[in-house]
Amino acid sequence: MRAPTETITAAPVELDFDARLVEVGLVMDARLSLANLSFEVDTAHIESADPIPEVVAPPRLVPTIAPCPYPTSIAATLHQARVRLETDGWCAGQLREGEQRCLIGVIRAVAGSRREADDARDVLDEAIRRDFRIRSIPEWNDQQRDARLPLLYLDRAASLAHSRGL
């Protein structure tokens, strides 16, 4: 009579992340090869069939500046100031640094007259004072770290001027 034999089973091996990635990569390579072969077999009777169709990129779109949504002069000035600040850049501590401008500098640059610039500055001052205690626009401008709030408050001021018919 024979002695009973013991069955020894090995503990399952746990693979680390890199080993699992390699394993999945091999499986995917096999699937892609099979898919390519299947495509070639399925299209063998078609003379002009290309195994890998050529992909043509769509034409590159160039962004354009949207027309001013405000019919009134002060609102339009504030909107143009926002667009110019966004395209040319914002600065703090001075009216202008190269093409970059502060809030007052950009309003003066786009305004048609000194009076229009002063009126736009007054509306911007009011829009900022609704949320902040400030002494002046230049002081508030110099306290900002980047252009996000100046751009936001030019938008708010343009909306305020439009609502007042300015």
For residue 153, the model assigns a pLDDT of: 94
How far apart CA 166 and CA 164 sit, in angstroms, is: 6
Q: Among residues 78, 137, 89, 158, which one has the least CA distance to residue 111?
A: 78
Extents of the domains making up the chain: 17-44, 73-163
**Radius of gyration of the chain, Cα coordinates, nearest whole angstrom:** 33
Per residue in 124-166, pLDDT (tens digit) is: 999 999 999 989 999 999 999 999 999 999 999 999 999 999 8
What are the distances in angstroms from CA 31 to CA 5, 27, 28, 49, 155?
A: 42, 6, 5, 21, 54
The pTM of the full predicted model, rounded to 2 decimals, is: 0.61
